[in-house]
Structure 1
Amino acid sequence: MPFLTPDVPPVDPAEFRTLPRQERIRTLANFWAVYGFGTPKSVHAIYITKLLVLYVCGGVVLATLTSDVGGPLEVSSWWDQPIIYQKLVLWTLFLELFGIGGTWGPLAAHFKPMTGGISYWARPDTIRLPPWPQRVPLTSGDNRTPGDVLLYLATLGSFVIAIVSGGMRPDGFGFDLVDPRLMALSAALLVLCGLRDKILFLAARGEQYLPILIISTLAGTLLTSTDFIVAAKLIIVIVWICASISKINPHFENVIPPMVSNAPFTPKSLKRAHYRSLPEDLKPSKLAWFMAHILGTTAELVVPIVLLLSTNWTVTLLAVGSMVLFHLFITQTFPLAVPLEWNVLFAYIAICLFAGFPAGEGFGIMDFSQPWMLPVFAAVLFFFPVLGNLRPDLVSFLPSMRQYAGNWASATWAFAPGAEAKLNQLTRPANNQIDQLIDGLGYDPDVAEMTLDMTLSWRSMHSQGRGLFSVMQKYLRSEYETYSLREAEFCCNAVIGWNFGDGHLHDDQLIEAIQKRVGFAPGEFIVVWVESQPIHKATQEYFVMDAALGIIERGTWLVTDCVNEQPWLPNGPIATQVTWRHPELHPDSDQHDGDKEMA
């Protein structure tokens, strides 16, 4: 039955493994262009059920029955109530931090078990990654302690308490809110969790929701009812604007075709139309350019500004509808991090804040009671996106607001024959994805390998993948065909329980933590890692790391060289500029073919 069976490449899996790696990438990239991951529709049905039953229905029932706004079915009585807005944000926070929001299930490489999250973070001795261990006291180390587990569970509990609490009305407000003290508790615990482990803060999507907790804390003291609504509007508008600006780059056009190709209900003819000429040319077509830069970047920049400034009800309503459709489009593509709840929440927020509290009825930015606070508030919200685009090495791409922009820190892991199994020594509830597929789901080993090769082909369809595979080829040389290559984002999910396409979660900090526990021999575990492109530079910086030896090479590549190449690198590896090589630990000091080495 098509509903239960996946789409699979028309090749014999055993023979397929004997092909050269770049030929395998070409075959699977062309398959992805038409079929995406090939996931059975039954898997998408699981995600849709989770979204509608657990998230939407569960959240609405919890929020309405614990607030004096009418029952769940009385939509007209609660859709524009700020307390419902707050509680749905808290519900989203809870599900994300629990581990059953984004990055859940087989589309995020959680094959069996499907849930990472709490099964990792409520378990002592799993890996944690503090963001500033040398600068923030009491955060050093990479081992999760019983204290970390208690802090994590307390944070989850604070969200639940705030959700089920009744509302209260601050002085001068015309509507109820969650008690600001409960919001302050949730905000404080989330920050403490993040200082001990950046995985938890990012998994909760703290960069999106912490500002909402903060303005909720200030409601009734520093913020009037109008101030609260205007500040909430400003938060979501700045998220949209920063995300749109981050898409003004050479990478983003390459994001749209494979994203649309993975949409399970999109006609195959429309998927093919996003590429210039399958199977020879997988560069984005003119349609992909239009989708990326007009319906994507331009719309996401212009429409939110209209929403913020418009005092015309018809214009406001059209803008609200545009942003709702924008997020529903992303939702139906089932992107690999599967951030379905986040997109549905933002669609609801657009309706609640902008249709429920129109600027023309006294809720515009000029109605803020203390105008001096607006630029200060905006500056705080813009700080990390601006810093992250100028210095991506200092800020994760999530606080940098580069969602979907294609400009990501990324990596490829390579294991010598037999070495990958050593990762199963780690304290964690799930084994490597290859073992989940073979032992957990009963896949034939050749089919399991081809399934994981699919993720490499997906990465190759994005600009940075072509650079990663180029460097890996140059470093491994003849051994490039014998090593097992893995998409680091998926591997990271199995190691720490979560990843959202963020290379900062599997950089040298994680590799060192793994090496401390596993002890790979030199040459057994090789990583090629690349940083996001700074907004003012034409290059990306990469490093090569041997888990046993440390970083042994650094260099750069031109982004345009990656963007202009096909996924399977038919012209050979792209040119790279080596800026440093370890004089003793690098395999040789000779320049690789195609390299330029700086003196």
Structure 2
Amino acid sequence: MGFKEGVLPDTDPATFMEKPYLERVQIMSRSWVENGFGTPKILPTIYVVKVLVLYLAIGITIATLTSGFSPLHPSEWWNQPVFYQKAIMWTALLETIGLAGSWGPLAAHFSPMTGGLRHWLKPDTIRLPPWPDKVPGTKGDRRTGFDATVYALILLTMAATLFWPTVDASGYTGGATVKEHLGLAAADKLPLINPVLLIPVIVLLLILGLRDKVAFLASRPEQYMPAMLFFALAPTMGLATMIVALKLLITVVWLGAGISKIGKHFGKVVPAMMSNTPVLPGKWIRRKFYRNFPEDLQPSGLAHFVAHGLGTVVEITFPLVLLFVGSPWWLVVISVIMMIGLHTVIFSTFPLAVPLEWNVLFGFAVAFLYLGFPNKDGFGFIGSDYAWTLPILVALLVLPILGNLRPDLVSFLPSMRQYAGNWASAQWAFAPGAEKKMEEFIVRSAPNTITQLQATYPEDIAEVVLHNTNGWRGMHSQGPGLMSILWNYLGDEKFQHEYTMREAEFACNSVVAFNFGDGHFHNEDLIAAIQKRCNFKPGEFLVAWVESQPIHKDYQEWKLIDAALGVVERGTYKVKDSADAQPWLPDGPIPLTYTYTSKSATPAGAHA
């Protein structure tokens, strides 16, 4: 893999699409093992430069100069609450614009590289309200001038929190304690973001969420809105309690992610992530994460150790130490180092949702919260103002608990299942020529992903590059199940040779401008909105879709959607059957249980 030249799999692009689909998946999954996405090294370099310049250099400069500090003297501001507040708001602003997570080629934004504001400021694009039949004023799937205005106001009010003059929090409850802890004199000011500025941000985000769940979740509200609320309540709850509340927030994020990694899914995520890590020295070490490359791409013992020994255990154990332990101090320091190390490793893998800024923020947050405001100095959960901290803890746990028990009701983001591999997922299947209808009839900010790639590559090479995502999905726990659903329905000839298969997490990007591993962004609501515009005929556009696994069950619920007919099949499959299958299904489709078949369904395959 060169600096400017990427790596294609060992296949002839001119004849690649003539091969049976599962042979293509086999080629791409094996290629992924050794090369990841195969991108040239200039691409991760671009991401690193973006983080260093746009996020860190510009962000630190704004946060410090607008708060009365010198950006060149970190010792002045690294442990200042106002700097932490502005770090949160700066990150949230970049996420909401579309310049942080789900940005660039690794998230299938090839040209243009930014979705976000290019899409959400554009009337007539698709919006997806979460409860259109229950919340008045939210029906419809067309973005209006009102929606664009709400989104623009969110950007402006977020920016205002960064540039508006700060207030002196010396008179807040606990203000004197915080000043003394920071070594400030009684006459010194303790700057904070004006709490009143947070109220319009929160209100506007909630309005946006009721109108369009995709744009709302793209702002990462599960990560940043609770912090904004704590900032707004700082004068009432007190500054020490605000610090404890922020510790509870970050702990719930870590624990939710750690607990969700228990099971069959995360073991499949780690090998694919490590294969895409540009800092690994060679192909040989990438192969070590698989049981027996090239025949068996199940996770190796090393992969399971990294996933659960260095991942799950670390993400559960050390956050609990940090929350409840004040001394010995060396244990706190070790725990901080371990959590910074965790986020550094995640950053280095360049995961395909590319949440790089988020990982940098969390690395800083653990140092700020636990080294800047140690539990032993009166900023711990134990001994805090329980009238505030206990209700906050309960509130923070509601959505993660509900989302793990009923993933159909809660996105995996507020369920705190970040990158655990247990995602609602889908695969799109187009009859010959049908995919082009989307470009003809859908208003959006970017063309189909394949069209974006064809602006850089010849058509045959563009298909090979995009098939990387199909091989990548096949390596995850849902891939074999999704392929089995379509294979059973279409039959071997149509599935293997006639239909064009697209990985939905990446394909939906051009339609809704954002993806982050959540199939709720492209469930039957999106398919119905697409159908309203494209008027596909029965069988032209099929979607195999699977819900996340509930924490207390050993199966996942799936559905097959025909854009013209709606849901035509439903059923379940055992997580083990899909997770234990090879990406190219050499033993045929996995066992599927059928609970519903529509009379209008016209299956041609094994389930006919």
TM-score of the two chains, using structure 2 as the length reference: 0.95
Letter in 2 for 1:489: E
RMSD over aligned Cα atoms? 1.2
**Deviation at residue 314 of structure 1 after TM alignment:** 1.5
**Deviation at residue 288 of structure 1 after TM alignment:** 0.5
User: Match of 2:254?
Assistant: 240
User: Match of 2:461?
Assistant: 447
**Deviation at residue 565 of structure 1 after TM alignment:** 1.1
User: Match of 1:597?
Assistant: none
**Deviation at residue 176 of structure 1 after TM alignment:** 2.4
Equivalences, count: 587
**Deviation at residue 476 of structure 1 after TM alignment:** 1.0
Task: Kindly provide the CA deviation profile for residues 246-299 of structure 1, in whole angstroms up to 9, marking residues without a partner as x.
Answer: 111211100000000001111222211100111011000000010111100010
**Conservation of the 8 A alpha-carbon contact between 2:116 and 2:514:** yes
**Deviation at residue 332 of structure 1 after TM alignment:** 0.8
User: Match of 1:596?
Assistant: none
User: Match of 1:229?
Assistant: 243
**Conservation of the 8 A alpha-carbon contact between 1:411 and 1:489:** yes
**Deviation at residue 311 of structure 1 after TM alignment:** 1.1
Equivalent in 543, 557, 574 of residue 541 of structure 1: 557
User: Match of 1:387?
Assistant: 402
Q: Distance in 1 between matches of 2:166 and 2:306?
A: 43
Pairing 1:301-340 to 2, within 5 Å after superposition: 301-312=316-327, 313-340=329-356
Q: Distance in 2 between matches of 1:77 and 1:123?
A: 42
**Deviation at residue 16 of structure 1 after TM alignment:** 2.1
**Conservation of the 8 A alpha-carbon contact between 1:282 and 1:566:** yes
Task: Kindly provide the CA deviation profile for residues 81-125 of structure 1, in whole angstroms up to 9, marking residues without a partner as x.
Answer: 111111011111111110111111111111111111111000000
DSSP 3-state at the match of 2:298: strand
DSSP 3-state at the match of 1:552: strand
Equivalent in 418, 435, 449 of residue 403 of structure 1: 418
**Conservation of the 8 A alpha-carbon contact between 2:489 and 2:606:** no
Q: Does 1:31 align with 2:35?
A: no
Structure 1 residues 505, 590: closer, same or farther in 2, change over 3 A?
closer
**Conservation of the 8 A alpha-carbon contact between 2:251 and 2:323:** yes
**Conservation of the 8 A alpha-carbon contact between 2:147 and 2:211:** yes
Task: Kindly provide the CA deviation profile for residues 414-463 of structure 1, in whole angstroms up to 9, marking residues without a partner as x.
Answer: 0011100000021012110111111x22x111111111111000000001
Query: Segments of 4+ in structure 1 off by > 4 A?
Result: 588-591
Q: Distance in 2 between matches of 1:458 and 1:569?
A: 14
DSSP 3-state at the match of 1:255: helix
Q: Distance in 1 between matches of 2:557 and 2:595?
A: 9
**Deviation at residue 15 of structure 1 after TM alignment:** 2.1
Q: Does 1:253 align with 2:258?
A: no
Q: Distance in 2 between matches of 1:252 and 1:429?
A: 33
Task: Kindly provide the CA deviation profile for residues 21-73 of structure 1, in whole angstroms up to 9, marking residues without a partner as x.
Answer: 111111111110011000011111111111110001111000000002x2111
Q: Does 1:365 align with 2:361?
A: no
Q: Distance in 1 between matches of 2:465 and 2:284?
A: 24
User: Match of 2:185?
Assistant: none
Letter in 2 for 1:192: I
Q: Distance in 1 between matches of 2:43 and 2:104?
A: 9
**Conservation of the 8 A alpha-carbon contact between 1:105 and 1:115:** yes
Letter in 1 for 2:381: I
5+ residue gaps, structure 1, are 594-599
**Conservation of the 8 A alpha-carbon contact between 1:434 and 1:452:** yes
Q: Distance in 2 between matches of 1:128 and 1:553?
A: 26
**Conservation of the 8 A alpha-carbon contact between 2:430 and 2:500:** yes
Bigger mean CA offset, 153-162 vs 14-23: 14-23
**Deviation at residue 588 of structure 1 after TM alignment:** 4.9
User: Match of 2:80?
Assistant: 81
Task: Kindly provide the CA deviation profile for residues 206-242 of structure 1, in whole angstroms up to 9, marking residues without a partner as x.
Answer: 0111100101110011x11110111111100111011
User: Match of 1:6?
Assistant: 6
User: Match of 1:376?
Assistant: 391
Structure 1 residues 475, 590: closer, same or farther in 2, change over 3 A?
closer
**Deviation at residue 589 of structure 1 after TM alignment:** 9.8
Letter in 1 for 2:394: A
**Conservation of the 8 A alpha-carbon contact between 1:410 and 1:502:** yes
Q: Distance in 1 between matches of 2:45 and 2:83?
A: 27
Q: Distance in 2 between matches of 1:539 and 1:10?
A: 36
**Conservation of the 8 A alpha-carbon contact between 2:66 and 2:163:** yes
Task: Kindly provide the CA deviation profile for residues 479-521 of structure 1, in whole angstroms up to 9, marking residues without a partner as x.
Answer: 1121000000111111011110110000000000111111111
Letter in 2 for 1:193: L
Q: Distance in 2 between matches of 1:374 and 1:151?
A: 32
**Conservation of the 8 A alpha-carbon contact between 1:581 and 1:589:** no
**Conservation of the 8 A alpha-carbon contact between 2:241 and 2:388:** no
Q: Does 1:476 align with 2:490?
A: yes
Letter in 2 for 1:293: H
Q: Distance in 2 between matches of 1:2 and 1:225?
A: 51
**Conservation of the 8 A alpha-carbon contact between 1:105 and 1:111:** yes
Letter in 2 for 1:499: N
User: Match of 1:210?
Assistant: 225
DSSP 3-state at the match of 1:283: strand
Q: Distance in 2 between matches of 1:182 and 1:176?
A: 14
Q: Distance in 2 between matches of 1:591 and 1:24?
A: 22
DSSP 3-state at the match of 1:306: helix
Q: Does 1:342 align with 2:358?
A: yes
DSSP 3-state at the match of 1:556: strand
Q: Distance in 2 between matches of 1:590 and 1:47?
A: 44
Pairing 1:119-130 to 2, within 5 Å after superposition: 119-130=118-129
Q: Does 1:352 align with 2:368?
A: yes
User: Match of 1:421?
Assistant: 436
Letter in 2 for 1:508: E
Q: Does 1:528 align with 2:544?
A: yes
User: Match of 2:20?
Assistant: 20
**Conservation of the 8 A alpha-carbon contact between 1:158 and 1:182:** yes
Equivalent in 195, 206, 210 of residue 210 of structure 2: 195
Bigger mean CA offset, 262-271 vs 325-334: 262-271
Equivalent in 183, 186, 198 of residue 183 of structure 1: 198
Task: Kindly provide the CA deviation profile for residues 289-344 of structure 1, in whole angstroms up to 9, marking residues without a partner as x.
Answer: 10111100010000001111121222111111111110011011010011101110
Q: Distance in 2 between matches of 1:275 and 1:563?
A: 14
DSSP 3-state at the match of 2:83: helix
Q: Distance in 2 between matches of 1:188 and 1:552?
A: 39
**Conservation of the 8 A alpha-carbon contact between 2:489 and 2:603:** no
Percent identical among aligned pairs is 50
User: Match of 1:270?
Assistant: 285
**Conservation of the 8 A alpha-carbon contact between 1:226 and 1:367:** no
User: Match of 1:433?
Assistant: 449
**Conservation of the 8 A alpha-carbon contact between 2:343 and 2:359:** yes
**Conservation of the 8 A alpha-carbon contact between 2:489 and 2:604:** no
Q: Distance in 2 between matches of 1:193 and 1:64?
A: 30
**Deviation at residue 19 of structure 1 after TM alignment:** 1.6
DSSP 3-state at the match of 2:462: helix
Q: Distance in 2 between matches of 1:364 and 1:169?
A: 24
DSSP 3-state at the match of 1:229: helix
